Chains A and B, each alone.
Chain A
């Protein structure tokens, strides 16, 4: 068991290194650099960056250097825990991300909890009562949830929220709480703003999880051990929850691999549409602005999260499912 985890951990470190190279390379791929996108941004806002200024900026940011030099420079900073200075925000990258990380985690965890709270019972119900009215209803709603792009849903909700309820547009706080220090009032304000993003973000996931749960449970319910349990007179609820549901939970454990990075970045487009102050829009902006250090750090962070998430789900699976444990030894 320990050797298994150890092997995975060593692999993980190599993967993270490869991710750092890749993420840096990907950021360099689009044409131009931070200065060209800065010029373009200024131009679209009705001002002009002179050629002298552009030249000065390139010197200042060291953009004229070869890519591997820039990468090594960045790596030297990364290993000591300094991820460099964001070009656009002109603050240390760690600060820029750190500020948004906690709120991102709040939103994503809320969405995730909502997904599980809705998906598990509905999934179980749909499987047990297959082809009932309730199952059809859940299936119908589920397919709509899967089919509607959630950013579109976000737009529609945003617009109707304004037209019908005069709700504050976007964001996670009302203007009066935006900069207030943390207090009960601010938490309450956050809680008031949380349901809509959580619902929108959670909806597609919910639909998907309902389908997975239903399908897995249906497979299990037809297995002989369930029939045996029933014939021995075990209570129906106990029959279902004790074994088939536990087995059907496997996919939930294995999704943690991609759930962790999701918690960090949130859904980029939905966050952008809803104006959430999370990491998602930050990543998008950093990529558009070609802010290498910021974008690189976020991509690296996402990579690390995926690796850690996968590691956790490997371990979880071993723990939940005795069959995997046996195969491995």
Chain B
């Protein structure tokens, strides 16, 4: 029996689901179901870090050349500066021109544009394998004082999109006037701290900045490369980023303008405080006037029907032949009021390149219409688990259930009771990999192939034996196990959310059927998402289904590895999270193995990479051995991994690294994509 807590949008989702499901089933029968053949070889453009190999002369888009000729723009070499950021396109040097059409779902979908069009504008960024952090906007990073200080070398002559120089002053302004302003940023970020102690930023000279910390912070290059609070202008709307255009933002800051003048500006723009106005003016997606460093810049903002981005004439990105990037002139994202419309538009070929919001369940329909829509479908499996089940280790409303959740063999037995192949075939159309929570084998933190299968195969006999042994041997006439306190059948609840990339509710229903064979009565509860967060943070959740995307970058994205966030849609222990975040002042001290895991994670930030990799492996070992979180099916294309690209778009990798940290497709440098004709 499926108990639904809230029926918001239910009728609509059901009807749409039914329709697309029927269509998909029909199409799948035609396509023969061989979907893994759409997964290609991982490839991507490379960043040329050797300055000797950088091109010496530059070319630019025709319309910019016109502007230069008309005297409205300085010559291209002056705009790029002495140290271009050189990218070797995947296949060939491209051609200028054209528009890239895609869809977005509204003002909360700002990640959409950051992922495609920001460059990415991080100081450091990943190579195409997602493994190594390389210099990006920064020319280089230099470690000093055993990791306690880092020199960031900026590119000489590099400019903001309005032509003003990008210098160390932009870092100092960000640090002193934004980050340390208690109104703009009431709570500092963990990314700027090591062992809970905040670092500082200081200017060395025009093109050199120093990040200083009280203890070694070896992780800093990765933190600058990942999707963290120090990762470029995507965090700017909330006062993060590491740098900000000082020359532009000073006019909105009380330190630089009189109170009366600022008040006038705030009232004129109808904001209720200068803080909100400042954040809005500092928003990459919202304010077309904001100077940026990205390859494209917003020209019509995200809160209108079309979010348009145009090439940044001062872009520091160039290809190996000296062509200033991007190749494509404009990116036009049109507002889709709902995901079904967005998907149908993609099927109809109305988008040139789309992977965000594309539904794996509709894969057959996409395949069927490849020719008609003049596009090709690629699959980009993630390196993480697409479906995990979290045990709330802090659950205390029912002591019996709390006891079992904290019994390792109970968790392991439940994991052994899941038929992952059936789930993979049904919901991933066979494209996923069944297994535990550990990331893909090629991930540098993967502890070894044996951990993929550890406690993550189907073994009903063993599961039953384990459950019998821990004290759950008694069963009721229907074959379900009885509670040890004599209060009837042992019932556990799993909380799911509807309308996500992964069909959590339907999969949980399947697991409910599978667990019947090991005598476990699972109740599936689909809840509305705000309720999910409320219940998770109030410690009312038992099990929860989610995915652990991002966990392939264990240290910059730990939320789905151990209890890290307090407000979360699925928790494995809100009190542990509180304990961890408050350094032991609040919450509950974790059980020894969880504590060990947390300590290793924390320690990793302050040790050299080799040691950190070992710590990462240890963390995954503990996670797989203890099964705090059950891994079900992973390494599939469920989350943004179905990619629909026009046939005449060039430099498209056959497979790309799919990860929130890699800002996929940002990791494949969309600035090098181009129109062949």
User: Could you list which residues of chain A lie within 8 angstroms of chain B, going by C-beta atoms?
Assistant: 30-33, 35-57, 59-60, 82, 84-85, 88-92, 96, 99, 149, 151-152, 155-156, 158-159, 162, 166, 168-171, 175, 178-179, 269, 271-277, 281, 284-285, 288-290
Contact = CB atoms under 8 A, between A and B. Distances in A.
A277 B337 contact: yes
A39 B108 CA distance: 10
B30 to A, nearest CB: 14
What secondary structure prevails in chain A residues at the interface with B?
Answer: helix
B581 interface: yes
B12 A272 contact: yes
A169 B341 contact: yes
Contact of B276 (A46, A60, A179, A275): A60
18 contacts: A41-B529, A44-B497, A46-B550, A46-B660, A48-B559, A48-B565, A48-B660, A49-B567, A51-B566, A52-B189, A59-B186, A60-B273, A149-B11, A149-B15, A159-B23, A168-B350, A273-B16, A277-B305
B531 A32 contact: yes
A272 B105 CA distance: 12
Contact of A44 (B6, B279, B501): B501
Contacts of B9: 284, 288
Given A55-B186, A90-B283, A275-B338, A151 B530 contact: no
A152 B13 CA distance: 11
B55 interface: no
A158 B305 contact: no
B344 A159 contact: yes
B348 interface: yes
Interface of B: 6, 8-9, 11-12, 15-16, 19, 23, 101, 106-109, 111, 185-190, 227, 229, 238-239, 270-273, 275-276, 279-280, 283, 286, 300, 303-306, 308, 332, 334-338, 340-341, 344-345, 347-348, 350, 356, 497, 499-501, 528-534, 546, 549-550, 557, 559, 565-569, 581, 639-640, 660
Contacts of A152: 15
Contacts of B336: 170, 275
B270 A90 contact: no
Contacts of B566: 51
A44 B344 contact: no
B567 A45 contact: no
B21 to A, nearest CB: 12
A176 to B, nearest CB: 10
A289 B230 CA distance: 27
Given A85-B270, A169-B345, A271-B337, A285 B568 contact: no
Contacts of B275: 60
Contacts of B187: 52-53, 55-56
A53 B187 CA distance: 8
A38 B279 CA distance: 17
Contacts of B270: 82, 85, 92
A31 B531 contact: yes
A59 B185 CA distance: 10
What secondary structure prevails in chain B residues at the interface with A?
Answer: loop
Given A51-B581, A152-B15, A39 B341 contact: no
B567 A179 contact: no
Contacts of B239: 56
Contacts of B185: 56
A46 B531 contact: no
Contacts of A281: 337-338
A92 B567 CA distance: 28
Contacts of B497: 40, 44
Nearest to A45: B111
A60 B273 CA distance: 9
Contacts of A43: 546, 568-569
A259 B318 CA distance: 58
B111 A90 contact: no
B569 A40 contact: yes
B337 A46 contact: no
A241 to B, nearest CB: 42
B108 A38 contact: yes
Contact of B500 (A32, A44, A88, A90): A44
A273 B569 contact: no
Contacts of A59: 186
Nearest to A88: B107
Given A35-B567, A84-B272, A168-B350, 8 more contacts: A31-B531, A48-B559, A60-B275, A90-B303, A179-B300, A272-B338, A273-B16, A277-B335
B525 to A, nearest CB: 14
A33 B534 CA distance: 10
B504 to A, nearest CB: 10
A323 to B, nearest CB: 42
Contacts of B337: 170, 271-272, 275-277, 281
Contact of A52 (B19, B190, B500): B190
B101 A175 contact: yes
B342 to A, nearest CB: 8
Contacts of B227: 47
Contacts of A166: 348
A285 B106 contact: yes
B102 to A, nearest CB: 11
Nearest to B569: A43
A155 B344 CA distance: 11
Contact of B344 (A49, A158, A272): A158
A44 B303 CA distance: 20
Given A89-B107, A169-B344, A51 B303 contact: no
B303 A89 contact: yes
A241 B660 CA distance: 68
B534 A90 contact: no
A45 B547 CA distance: 11
Contacts of B534: 31-32, 36
A159 to B, nearest CB: 7
A272 B106 CA distance: 13
B193 to A, nearest CB: 11
Contact of A40 (B11, B273, B533): B533
A48 B276 contact: no
Contacts of A285: 106
A145 B308 CA distance: 40
Contacts of A46: 111, 501, 549-550, 639-640, 660
A90 B347 contact: no
Given A57-B238, A288-B8, A85 B340 contact: no
B366 to A, nearest CB: 13
B350 A175 contact: yes
A146 B110 CA distance: 40
B345 A170 contact: yes
A40 B531 CA distance: 10
A178 B335 CA distance: 10
A178 B334 contact: yes
A61 to B, nearest CB: 8
B390 to A, nearest CB: 13
